[in-house]
Chains A and B, each alone.
Chain A
Amino acid sequence: MTAYGSFGWAFVLVLLGVYCSARYTDSWSIRLGIAAAIVAAAFSIQFDHVPLIGFVAAVQGEPSVGMLLILGGLAARGILPERVTEEDFGGLRTCIFWLGLVMFPSALGVGPIDLYAVGYHPYAALGLLFLAVLCVGFAATRLLAVWATLSLLLHGHDAGESDNIVDYLIDPIVFVYSSWHVGSRVWRRFRDAR
């Protein structure tokens, strides 16, 4: 696992620890203590010569920027609800949903072309750069701009183990999360329309 992967998983665990412990305590020192204990346990307790986080990494690999932003945003919204709005999340989740919807099936052999292969091409990075610039132009989508820019930055500097920019943008877990949210929204609209 690369330094990005280790740091990413530690970040994910801290966010989960802080987010989940918020139900039981308002004390930030306790919440951060719980999060630190979770990180320490995940990286130090070994089973079969592998730290516990290695079992997560065995399935997921390294966390995507999409996952880090979603979790980071959820935690931030608990602290500064006026700064992170539902519109920010909605745009990001919708983008992740559509990207995953075309990317995962095509990579697994559904359809005539492999869209994931495009992600190795440097023009894909340039296209994303263009998207990021467009997003910057519209302040309402600043979370999308951060998502695209951070992915581009990490990919360009070989931070993770993948050489494909798609792996920095999305992963299956955050795709499932986004699909659930997008699906729920569509269902609510459908129900209200009836």
Chain B
Amino acid sequence: MVRFISRTNRRLLTIAGIGVLLGFALLPALESVTSYIASPGYRADAVGTVSHTADMIGDSEAEPVWEERAIDPGGRAMVHSATLIELADGGTRAFWYGGSREGAHDVGIYTARLPPNEQQWGAAREIMNRTKLSEELGRYIKKLGNPVGFRDAAGQVWVFFVSVSFGGWSGSAINAMVSRDGGATFGRARRLVSSPAFNVSTLVRGRPIQMLDGGIALPVYHELLGKFAELLHLNPDGSVRGKQRLTRGRSHIQPALVVVDAETAHVFMRYAGEAVKRVHYVSTNDAGLNFSPPRHSNLPNPDSAIDAIRLASSETLMVYNHSETGRNNLSLAISERDPGEWARIYDIERSETGSGQHFSYPSILRDSSGRIHVAYTYNRQYIKHVTFNETWLARIRRGPATEP
């Protein structure tokens, strides 16, 4: 039949055919243009970032509270990289990874729940392992890594976690799974594509932040040719709508995003370089449209993870390793206004250098009752959880100040 159509008509038919395809393709493209908002602003009242109402400030509990607990390691020899979320019922849920050793085939993502007004964590439960993820994604998975929990404005619990198919951690990709029942069960995992080069070398550690339009800002970092921090912008359904580089070079990983208000935020980062072993940070005053160049604070950093939250008093509380060389201590520091100026106020853990003790990968959460939770890796043997309130914090701060 083709021979009966003239060359001119064939060309017209080709153009018409492609035109139909273009028209079909144009509809979703136009829809995404109209719905796209570059930076809708941060939800400053997002769960786990700052207090929900002003009346929660300070002495919602008159008596100081300090509690310590251990989370059941689920029979695993090594546990690491815990993260905390507050549940809708006021309880707390933790996620971490555990196995025979870091990077082993048997490493899984675990969760446990601390019911409201109870003292003991529930039993640990594995929610993901490499075999299950391989089946769900239809591809080989070698090992799993850092999980990050998040409860969105709609009440869904998200877990973003790292997986590696080949190579070391620099071959990581990020996966996401969602629970609609507070973390009891999860749907199928999906892979977030964030790099054109085999989608490798994007990792997650910091807590996501809810945006005003329902989107999610997920702090991630890259560590292959360079080591730099990025933000992945997700739609409410978890699809990626943008990526933003926060730093350059080979020095900044594991960003922790702290929201001050709808327009202002600071991103504190682990320093992986050699020059200035301090906690580094970048800031935005336009809801993330632009970030400042990285600066260093006065807090030391031994190339280890940090986390921070905004307090009801408008100060920022950070949990970090107070050392340039090791992870043998874990401390709290407060910044009143300037994100570069901190005062160390308390050592949650302290041991001698070279003691072999190490306390790392802290995660901090302020729940809706005003209590502050810190979870961290204790010698990689178990996850330790400490809880305190702002009354305790105020009492500690009335003591002699400790200079960094």
Contact = CB atoms under 8 A, between A and B. Distances in A.
A50 B142 CA distance: 11
Instruction: Name the prevailing secondary structure of the A interface residues.
Output: helix
Nearest to A99: B196
A164 interface: yes
Interface string A39-69: 0000000001111011101111100000000
Contact of A120 (B14, B165, B198, B243): B243
B193 A162 contact: yes
Instruction: Name the prevailing secondary structure of the B interface residues.
Output: mixed
Nearest to A52: B140
Interface string A4-37: 0110000000000000000000000000000000
A152 B29 contact: yes
A167 B222 contact: no
A163 B241 contact: yes
A60 B242 CA distance: 21
A113 B33 CA distance: 22
B142 to A, nearest CB: 8
B239 A114 contact: no
Interface stretch (B224-232, B264-272, B352-360): B224-232
B196 A54 contact: no
A161 interface: yes
Interface in A104-121: 104, 107-110, 112-114, 116-117, 119-121
A114 to B, nearest CB: 5
A117 B139 contact: no
Interface residues of A, number: 57
B25 A122 contact: no
B40 to A, nearest CB: 15
A123 to B, nearest CB: 7
Contacts of A142: 14, 18
Given A51-B138, A54-B138, A109-B222, A163 B239 contact: yes
Contacts of B25: 129, 149, 152-153, 156-157
A108 B197 contact: yes
A54 B27 contact: no
Contact of B21 (A51, A113, A149): A149
Contact of A149 (B22, B135, B243): B22
Contact of A54 (B139, B191, B233): B139
A60 B197 CA distance: 9
Residue of B134, B138, B190, B248 most packed against chain A (CB within 10 A) = B138
A121 B225 contact: no
A61 B191 CA distance: 10
A1 B136 CA distance: 8
Contacts of B276: none
A174 to B, nearest CB: 11
Contacts of B248: 109, 112
Contacts of B198: 59-61, 172
Interface string B199-235: 1010000000000000000000010111010100100
B140 A58 contact: yes
B29 A171 contact: no
B66 interface: no
Contacts of B241: 120, 163
A95 interface: no
B131 to A, nearest CB: 5
B139 A129 contact: no
Given A57-B140, A117-B242, 15 more contacts: A48-B140, A55-B139, A57-B138, A59-B165, A61-B198, A104-B197, A108-B201, A108-B225, A109-B222, A114-B243, A114-B245, A133-B22, A152-B25, A156-B26, A172-B198
Interface of A: 1, 5-6, 48-51, 53-55, 57-61, 103-104, 107-110, 112-114, 116-117, 119-123, 125-126, 129, 132-133, 136, 139, 142, 145-146, 149-150, 152-153, 156-158, 161-164, 166-167, 170-172
7 tightest Cβ-Cβ pairs between the two chains A and B: A109-B226, A1-B138, A58-B165, A162-B193, A156-B28, A58-B140, A122-B32
22 contacts: A49-B131, A53-B138, A58-B140, A58-B166, A61-B193, A61-B199, A103-B196, A109-B222, A109-B228, A116-B196, A119-B196, A120-B242, A129-B26, A139-B14, A149-B22, A156-B25, A156-B26, A156-B27, A156-B29, A162-B193, A171-B196, A172-B196
